Amino acid sequence: MTSSSRTRFNVDEFVTLNRRKLLRGIGASALLTATGGWFTRELWAQPVFSEHPFSLGVASGDPAPDGFVLWTKIAPKPLERGGGMPNKAVEVAWAVATDEAMTNIVQHGKAIAAPALGHSVHVEIAGLEPARDYFYRFTVGGQQSRVGRTRTFPRAGAAVAQMKFAVAGCQRYEAGYFNAYRKLAEERFDFVFHYGDYIYEYATLRPDAMTAWPIVRLMPGESGECVTLEHYRQRYAIYQLNEELQAAHASAPFIMSFDDHEVVNDWAGEDTLKNTPRAQFLLRRAAAFQAWYEHLPLRRAQMPKGPNIQAYRRLMAGDLLALNVLDTRQYRTGIVCGARVMAGCEPALEPNRTMLGEAQERWLYESFKSPAARWTLLAQQIPLMRQDRDADPNILSLSMDKWDGAVAARERLFGAVEQSKLANLVVVDGDVHENCAGELKKNFDDEKSATLGVDFTATSISSGGDGFDISKRRRALMQQDPHIKFYNNQRGYVRHVVTPKQWRADYQVLDKVSVREATMRTRRSFVVESGAARLNDA
């Protein structure tokens, strides 16, 4: 056995053993003995930190009826290579309680933060009660993390009166403060779906950089575009030092997906548009996925295997909501016509184009046949509804990076919805830095054709800057796409309140992200009645 494969094996075994330990109550010393002593040599037994080791906060994610995953990362000097940690593993204690004061602890244990995973900690908790709040905290070297609040999902099949969640994403650091996250944190959602663009991989901007939006703040240090694991790690650290983002993570479990900027702008499958050799791009993708995993509350099932990752998954919230997290990046066919907005791009119409890939399509369409919940949610990255981007009524201009760039893929999806007679399909996404709400038409050129579901596009947290309500051009574009009922170009998030009878979406927008003090208001609210795929004003 080579030393590197032995290392990988042991790290994985540690995680597994740790889970068993918490279930069976094996002590930490037994755990170390069980791994043949490899870690005893590498373990930093009595860590002492001069700086706060939980500088990047705490988070929870992927709720189940009996648990969730807890996350933190030991980084006393988060912007330094290695986060200010020695090349040794360290033991981190965790506790879960039913109260915020952490007096009624219901589970506790220890986890290993290993250098191979950037001293991140992922603890999968099981055995808790469904549909209730829990609180958690980590301890290392005598120092405690903040207390995070999280929540379990309802039991599968159980009658659920209501689920309340937020959809957010696209948080370019330089474009604005994360004011939306402060507001989001106050709502203590059942969960938050993050559609991606959690970081942007671009080189750090200089103060005199030319941008389409005013630069609100600069990232510390200077670096080129993220390419290696260390680059991506440093970028996540810069973002996660934001107190607003930390408050959001500590307020509710996040269900994470990634879009393009977690790797590189507009990547598609194995295609980067920049003629990078395939092998090099896959190495970069592996580094990007590892950093994504290290910094977020993801289950072990989402640990990357080199350049590949299992990011699509289904979470069931009782009998109310089947939440399908989709991956529209990893398996899609390559970008055609340059990824930009295009009129008359013939290759976009080719029947073999895909957004999800064959296996994910099958997995999704199979679930449509016998839905186990009232509402079927596609929680994904890019707008599904057609959007003409040319005001000339004779020119249909489409964005090749969205579902519009793979028309056949959308038609197959719609075909599966129709064939299964799937009612109550709701799609959420983002990526375009605009609020948008629309109806999914079987034929977007025919207003009278069947409506198969609704599409709620969430604006960005900060990308695009302060923004504005709506431009004249957008108003004109809406005339050509009557299935689109709402546009807004401000920052914020979308609040969804789901009951058996009705789905409600509130578009929460901020007046500003260029200053830290901001006012949030509900710009528009829609409701969808169960059984009637139509957007109504609330």
Whichever of 197 and 401 has its CB closer to Fe ion, that residue is 197
Residue 478: count other Cβ atoms within 10 Å of its Cβ. 19
Q: How far is the CB of 213 from Fe ion (least distance, A)?
A: 12
Closer residue to Fe ion (CB): 151 or 491: 491
User: Which residue, 494 or 498, has its beta carbon nearer to Fe ion?
Assistant: 494
For 130-157, letters b (16+ CB in 10 Å) and e give: bbeebbbbbbbeebebbbbbbbbbbbee
Nearer of residues 122 and 285 to Fe ion, judged by Cβ: 285
Q: Quick one: 360 or 459, whose CB is closer to Fe ion?
A: 459
Smallest separation (angstroms) from Fe ion to the CB of 24:
44
204-226: burial string, b at 16+ Cβ within 10 Å, e else: bbeeeeeeebebbeebeeebeeb
CB of 488 to Fe ion, least distance (A): 16
> Smaller CB distance to Fe ion: residue 251 or 463?
463
Burial of 298 (0-12, 13-18, 19+ CB in 10 A): buried
Q: How far is the CB of 430 from Fe ion (least distance, A)?
A: 7
Look up residue 363 and give its DSSP letter. H
**Token pair of 5, please?**
């494969």
Asked whether the beta carbons of 319 and 158 are under 8 A apart, the reply is: yes
DSSP 497-526: EE-SSEEEEEEEEES-SSSS---EEEEEEE
Q: Which two tokens stand for residue 381?
A: 């990255």
Q: Check residue 307 and give left, alpha or beta (phi > 0: left; psi -120 to 50: alpha).
A: alpha
What minimum distance in Å lies between the beta carbon of 463 and Fe ion? 5
Q: Which is nearer to Fe ion, 120 or 257 (CB)?
A: 257
Binding interface with Fe ion (CB under 5 A): 170, 197, 463
CB 66 within 8 A of CB 78: no
Q: String of b and e for 523-535 (b: at least 16 CB within 10 Å)? A: bbbbebeeeebeb
* Shortest distance (Å) from residue 514 CB to Fe ion: 18
Least CB distance from residue 263 to Fe ion, whole Å? 13
- Shorter beta-carbon distance to Fe ion: residue 75 or 166: 166
Smallest distance, Fe ion to C-beta of residue 184, A: 17
| DSSP code at position 146 | P
